[in-house]
Amino acid sequence: MILFSNVSKTYENGTKALDNISFFIERGEFVFIVGPSGAGKSTLIKLLMHEETATSGDVIINNVNVGALKQNQIPYLRRSMGVVFQDFRLLPKKTVYENVSFAMEIVGASKRAIRRQVPNVLSMVGLSSKAKMLPSQLSGGEQQRVALARALVNNPAFLIADEPTGNLNPKTAMEIMELLDDINKRGTTVIMATHAKDIVNAMKKRVIAIEDGVIARDEVRGVYGYED
Partner 1 sequence: MKINGFRYFLREASKNVFSNGWMSIASIFTVLASLLVFGLFMVLTLNLNYIAGQLEGDYEIILVVDETYNQQQVEALGETIRGVENVKEAELDSKTNRLDELKDEFGENASLLDGYETDNPLRDWYKITLSDLSRSDETVQELEGLPGIVKIIRNQDTIDKLVSMTTYLGHISIWVMAALALISVFIISNTIKLTVFARRKEINIMKFVGATDWFIRWPFIIEGIIIGLIGAVFSFVVIAYGYHGIIGLLESLEISFVDFKPFHELVLLLIGTFLGMGVVLGGVGSLISVRKYLKV
Minimal distance in Å, beta carbon 66 to partner 1?
A: 14
132 binds partner 1 (CB under 8 A): no
Residue 25 makes CB contacts below 8 A (sequence gap 6+) with 1, 2, 3, 31, 189, 191
- Nearest by Cα to 152 from 129, 136, 176: 176
Using DSSP's 3-state secondary structure scheme, residue 132 falls into coil
Instruction: Please select the residue that binds partner 1; options are 22, 26, 76, 155, rule is CB under 8 A.
Output: 76
154 binds partner 1 (CB under 8 A): yes
Q: Are strands 56-61 and 64-65 parallel, antiparallel or unpaired?
A: antiparallel
CB of 12 to partner 1, least distance (A): 14
CA-CA-CA-CA dihedral for 138, 151, 51, 211, to nearest 10 = 80
- If one asks whether residue 64 binds partner 1 (CB under 8 A), the answer comes out as no
Q: How far is the CB of 130 from partner 1 (least distance, A)?
A: 20
CA distance 54 to 59: 8
Interstrand relation of 64-65 and 81-85 (parallel, antiparallel or unpaired)? unpaired
Out of 38, 65, 107, 186, name the contact with partner 1 by CB under 8 A.
107
Q: Which helix (H) or strand (E) holds 49?
A: helix 41-49
115 counts as binding partner 1 under rule CB under 8 A:
no
Based on the shown chain and the rule CB under 8 A, indicate whether residue 14 belongs to the binding site for partner 1.
no
**Binding residues with partner 1: total (CB under 8 A):** 24
Decide: is 49 part of the binding site for partner 1 (CB under 8 A): yes
Q: How far is the CB of 218 from partner 1 (least distance, A)?
A: 27
Q: Exactly one of 6, 26, 38, 111 binds partner 1 (CB under 8 A); which one? A: 111
Query: From the list 13, 37, 63, 72, which residue makes contact with partner 1 (rule: CB under 8 A)?
Result: 72
Counting contacts by CB under 8 A, is residue 202 touching partner 1? Answer: no
CA distances from 66 to 53, 60, 78, 105, 129 (A): 8, 6, 11, 25, 39
- CA 118, CA 108: separation in Å to the nearest integer? 14
39 vs 103, beta carbon nearer partner 1 = 103
The reply on whether position 13 binds partner 1 by CB under 8 A is no
Single residue of 108, 171, 220, 227 touching partner 1 by CB under 8 A: 108
Are the C-beta atoms of 33 and 44 separated by less than 8 Å?
Answer: yes
Q: Where do contacts with partner 1 occur on this chain (CB under 8 A)?
A: 49, 51, 71-72, 75-79, 83, 89-91, 93, 102-103, 105-108, 110-111, 150, 154
